[in-house]
Structure 1
């Protein structure tokens, strides 16, 4: 992550504030490891029209992560605009803000190559091996420890149904082969959650 950090065109104070935000103790999945993974994949997937904007958006896409809120992406986008003002050009600030907002639904337009790279990198965890996926799912549950099992199950089912309902889950050529594995992982989790909901 050091190299990615050095490429972040912001002041040291802003960079430190971002690292501190991603290091908050309540984060179990949306932490520095997730940030590093997304940054790495942004480079690997390639094809971005404005790679610097996509990397900046990766830094800000979950910079605000409060599980009790449902507007984290919107607040993170506002945080990006405030943090980058005067450090990069206005057009790039606007693009970073737009990209961060896309991570709320992960539905970039077909011709949005930058949005595709960011969203695919963010959703790559869904296509991990079964053990890694289970670890991810457990970490998500830990982040929502304030919810009862019934509340969490209902919310998680809604998230999985949304993702499984996307016409295209992964949009970059490099990530498209992940689709089958990701759908299998999510479907398996959904079956377990629905069974749990039905027995409660």
Structure 2
């Protein structure tokens, strides 16, 4: 009972941070909770997923009472579901600030005759970075990331590590998406080459 009261008091604090928009502080507090109270953290994180399968397992193992208590957490603190999920992802899969949203906008700088790309990446409510640059600058960043991806795969091969089939399947899909976008990029470049500079 004391554990339950203490956990609810902590979740009340977390919810207050969420309501106030203090997402970075909330993320750090949940990370601390996961580090210091791992078993309770996992229980709460799974409860907040509001998964009938999870509640069914709890009910089968511990009875209706504990399952109802956990169901109540999911109903009382729905705003904490995503931040707990993201920290659980960090803890279980060695991730950090998983990107959940990328807002993109385009504009045009008439004096330089250059399109501009703006994007903002966020992880849950935490804004990771904002960026604005010319297309070639955006592609330079993309090139760095693809190079880093290749480095990681090369290292895995060199160290004789395997890569699971789900990851390989996702890599194949992403490569095909990249190839499609690069083909479209080439089409746009070819069209712009045929268009006189300054021709509106």
Query: What is the TM-score when the length of structure 1 is the normalising length?
Result: 0.32
Q: Which has the higher strand share?
A: 2
Query: What is the TM-score when the length of structure 2 is the normalising length?
Result: 0.32
Q: Larger relative contact order (C-alpha < 8 A, sep ≥ 6)?
A: 1
